[in-house]
Amino acid sequence: MPVPRPSEGSGSFFAVNSAVLVVGDGPPAEAAVSALRAHPVFWVGATAEPGPHVMAYADESVAEVRGQRGRFRVQLEGKQGKLWLECGNVVLAPSLQRTLDPSWHLPESRLAVSVSRAARLAVERGPVVFLLGGGETEGYFSALTALREAVCLAARQVEVYFFFADLGVSWPGLEEVHQEARRLGVRFIRISDTSAFRVAEEGGFLRVRYTDAYLPGSPEFSLTATYVFAGEVGLPGSDFAELARTFRIDRDRWGFLQSDNVRLFPVRTNRPGVYVLGEARGPAFAGEAGLDAAAIAGETAPFLAGEILVAEPWLRVDPARCSFCLECDRYCPAVALEVHRARKTVAINPLACLGCGICAGVCPEHAIAYPGPETKSGRRQGKTIVFACEKSGYLAAQSIPLPAWAATLEMIPLPCAGRLDEGMVLRALAQGAVQVIVSACREQCCHYSSGERLAEEKVRALKEHLGSMGLNPGRVTLVRASANAPREWLGLVREIIAGDGTGPGETGMEKCAKT
C-alpha cells in the first residue's frame, strides 16, 4: 500500500503513477491513445503510428495484473520474453469480431462486401446497392459509413439504391447526411422483412430481387447491381473472456466488457481504474469511442498531479484480528484488497476502495472497522428500523414528505445494503424493534455490483436464524426500490408495517425476559 502523506484537511495524499495502459488494436484504442496525450501511455496491440507520449507494444499481450488503481503492475508476454510495467489506470479497447450482417443472406462474392470496404473500391458505375439495419443492431456499426459512402457515390452521379429495415440516425449529424443523400437522389427503400430479399451473382453482376410488402399485392422487383455493400454486425472477440479474467472485471450477458449496471455507464467497470470504451462495452456508433475516450481522460486527469487526495475515513483491516480467511477479497466488488500471501496479511487500498463496507459485513472476525451510524445504541420499543441503502431507499424516503403513519420508522443509512451484518439486525430486535426492514437497490442496480444480492442472501439467512430461535421470521424483510421511486418505496414499506395478518410476534425484549 502506498504511504500516505497527511493533508491539512481531513484526508491524505497518496502517490500515484500517471501512466495509462491501453489494450486494443482498432480505432477505439487509437481514440483512447489520442485522448490520453497528457499521460505517458503504454499501448499493447499498437496498430497506428504512436505519438511521442506512447510506448508501443505491438506483439505483446497481457499475462498478469497485480496491484490496484494508482499503481497497477502489469506483466506483458511476447517474443522477447516477459516484462513488468507500472501504470495508474488501464483502458480496455479491444475490437469486436465483425461479420457481414447475416440477415441479408448474401452469396459468397467479391461484389457483395461490407460497407467499410466501399471507400476502398473504385466504383465506376452503378447501380450500387446498400443494405443496412436488417439485423438486431439496427445499423449501429455501419450507419455512418454507409450513409457517407452513399452520398459520395450519388455526388459522382452513380445510381444508388439504399435498402433498410431501420435507419439508425441518432448519432449527431447523421440525419443531416441522410437528408443530403435523399437530395442527391439516393433511392431509399424500406424492407419489412429481410428474408424477402435475395442476391445472386450473374455473369459479373449481382441480380437483386425483392418483394415490396408495403405495396398492394406485394409485387416483386429486380435490378442488376455492380456492387452490394451490406452493414456489419459485431460480436465480442475471442479475447474478451481472457481479458475479463486477467483484469478481474465482470462481463454482461452478451460477453461485452462491462456488466449491465447503470452505475458503470458509460466507461467504468466494476474495478476502479479499469475503463472500457466504445464497442467493447456494447454495440456503439463509430464516433462513440471518441466521447468515451474523452470521458476516460476526465477520469484519469487527477492522476497527472502524481498524487491523489483521499478523504478520511477509509476502511482499514485490523491485523491483530485478521485470520487471513480472504472472505473480504472474495466479496469485494472493486478488487480493492491487497493480499500478501507470503506475509499472510491483507490491506485495503484506499484508492481502489469504493467504501461500500461489504467486506466489514462479511468478515467473520470483525477485523474490518466501518465507522457508521449503525452502531448507535438506544431503546427502540415499537419502532420499525429501516436499514436503508443510502443510494436508493434512503434517498427515496428523503425526497418526499412522509405521511403520519411513517412516524414509527427509524431510518439508518448504510453505504450499501450489502454492508448489513446479522448482529445489526439482532441488536435492533433486542433493543425492542417490532420490525426490521432492509432496503436495497433493485436487481442489477447496485452501486457496488453485488451488494443487493448479498443483502438478499443475508436476509434469507436471518429469517432462518430467527425461525430457529422461535421468533417470527417475518420481522425481517427486504424491500427493493430505486432512489427515484419514492411512491413505490413507501407502498412497499406500508405493506410490511400493515402486516400479513400474522403480526410481528414477540419483541426481542419479551423473548429475553421469558428465557
Partner 1 sequence: MSDILVLGAGIAGMSAALDLANAGLGVYLLDKEKEIGGKAAHYACKAGSNCRKCSACLVPYIKYQLERHPNVRILPFSLCTDLQGEPGHFRASVRLLNEKRQDLGAETTLEVRALVVATGFDLYDPTPKEEFGYGRHRNVITALELEQALWGFPALSAAFGENLRRIGFIQCVGSRDAQNGYPYCSRICCGYSARQALKLESDLPGADITLFYQDRQTFGKGPGFFRRELGSHTHIRPVRGLPAKIFRYPRDELTVRYTDIEQGQVREEGFDLVVLCPAVIPARSGPDTFPALGLERDQNGFYLERDVGVSSRKGIFLAGTCQGPKDIPQSIAHAKAAVGRILRYLA
Tell me which residues in 176-205 interact with partner 1 (CB under 8 A). Answer: 176, 179, 192
C-alpha cell at 163: 435498402
61 sits near partner 1 (criterion: CB under 8 A): no
Stretch in the footprint of partner 1 (CB under 8 A) among 95-103, 330-338, 356-364, 442-450 = 442-450
168 sits near partner 1 (criterion: CB under 8 A): yes
Q: How far is the CB of 125 from partner 1 (least distance, A)?
A: 30
263 sits near partner 1 (criterion: CB under 8 A): yes
Cross-strand pairs, 132: 164
Query: Do residues 280 and 79 make contact, with C-beta atoms less than 8 angstroms apart?
Result: no
* Interatomic CA distance for residues 31 and 362, integer angstroms: 41
Amino acid identity of residue 209, one-letter, is R
Stretch in the footprint of partner 1 (CB under 8 A) among 53-61, 62-70, 72-80, 211-219 = 211-219
Contacts to partner 1 from residues 412-441, by CB under 8 A: none
Q: How far is the CB of 53 from partner 1 (least distance, A)?
A: 13
250 sits near partner 1 (criterion: CB under 8 A): no
Q: CB-based contacts of 176: which residues, under 8 Å, 6+ apart?
A: none
> In which residue are the cell numbers 451488494 written?
451
483 sits near partner 1 (criterion: CB under 8 A): yes
* Interatomic CA distance for residues 381 and 359, integer angstroms: 30
Number of residues that bind partner 1 (CB under 8 A): 78
Q: How far is the CB of 208 from partner 1 (least distance, A)?
A: 22
14 sits near partner 1 (criterion: CB under 8 A): no
375 sits near partner 1 (criterion: CB under 8 A): no
Of 284, 248, 290, nearest to 269 by C-alpha is: 248
Among 65, 115, 128, 169, binds partner 1 (CB under 8 A): 169
Contacts to partner 1 from residues 313-342, by CB under 8 A: none
Closer CB to partner 1, 57 or 387, in the complex: 387
282 sits near partner 1 (criterion: CB under 8 A): yes
Among 172, 371, 423, 470, binds partner 1 (CB under 8 A): 172
Among 247, 256, 314, 387, binds partner 1 (CB under 8 A): 256
| Burial of 323 per CB tally in 10 Å (0-12, 13-18, 19+) | exposed
* Interatomic CA distance for residues 451 and 421, integer angstroms: 12
CA–CA distances in Å: residue 118 to residues 109, 127, 169, 211 = 14, 14, 19, 26
Closer CB to partner 1, 300 or 384, in the complex: 300
Among 253, 341, 343, 514, binds partner 1 (CB under 8 A): 253
Among 297, 356, 426, 459, binds partner 1 (CB under 8 A): 297
> In which residue are the cell numbers 436488417 written?
134
Of 52, 58, 49, nearest to 80 by C-alpha is: 58
Q: How far is the CB of 61 from partner 1 (least distance, A)?
A: 27
Closer CB to partner 1, 322 or 351, in the complex: 351
Query: 133-144 b/e with 16+ CB inside 10 Å = b?
Result: bbbebbbbbbbb
How many CA atoms lie within 13 Å of 263's alpha carbon, on the beta-carbon side?
Answer: 21
Query: Do residues 433 and 497 make contact, with C-beta atoms less than 8 angstroms apart?
Result: no
Q: How far is the CB of 504 from partner 1 (least distance, A)?
A: 28
Query: Is the preceding omega at residue 94 within 30 degrees of 0, hence cis?
Result: no
Q: CB-based contacts of 371: which residues, under 8 Å, 6+ apart?
A: 313
Stretch in the footprint of partner 1 (CB under 8 A) among 70-78, 115-123, 261-269, 458-466 = 261-269
- State the first-to-last Cα distance of the chain, in angstroms, to the nearest integer: 49
* Interatomic CA distance for residues 384 and 255, integer angstroms: 42
Q: How far is the CB of 97 from partner 1 (least distance, A)?
A: 13
Cross-strand pairs, 66: 73
Among 304, 326, 461, 512, binds partner 1 (CB under 8 A): 304
Q: How far is the CB of 462 from partner 1 (least distance, A)?
A: 25
488 sits near partner 1 (criterion: CB under 8 A): yes
Stretch in the footprint of partner 1 (CB under 8 A) among 18-26, 97-105, 214-222, 315-323 = 214-222
395 sits near partner 1 (criterion: CB under 8 A): yes
Stretch in the footprint of partner 1 (CB under 8 A) among 43-51, 147-155, 168-176, 462-470 = 168-176
Query: Do residues 115 and 163 make contact, with C-beta atoms less than 8 angstroms apart?
Result: no
Contacts to partner 1 from residues 223-242, by CB under 8 A: 233
- Relative orientation angle of helices 143-155 and 174-183, to the nearest 10 degrees: 30
Query: Is the preceding omega at residue 266 within 30 degrees of 0, hence cis?
Result: yes
Closer CB to partner 1, 77 or 252, in the complex: 252
Q: How far is the CB of 482 from partner 1 (least distance, A)?
A: 4
Of 89, 62, 389, 33, nearest to 269 by C-alpha is: 89
Among 84, 221, 254, 405, binds partner 1 (CB under 8 A): 254
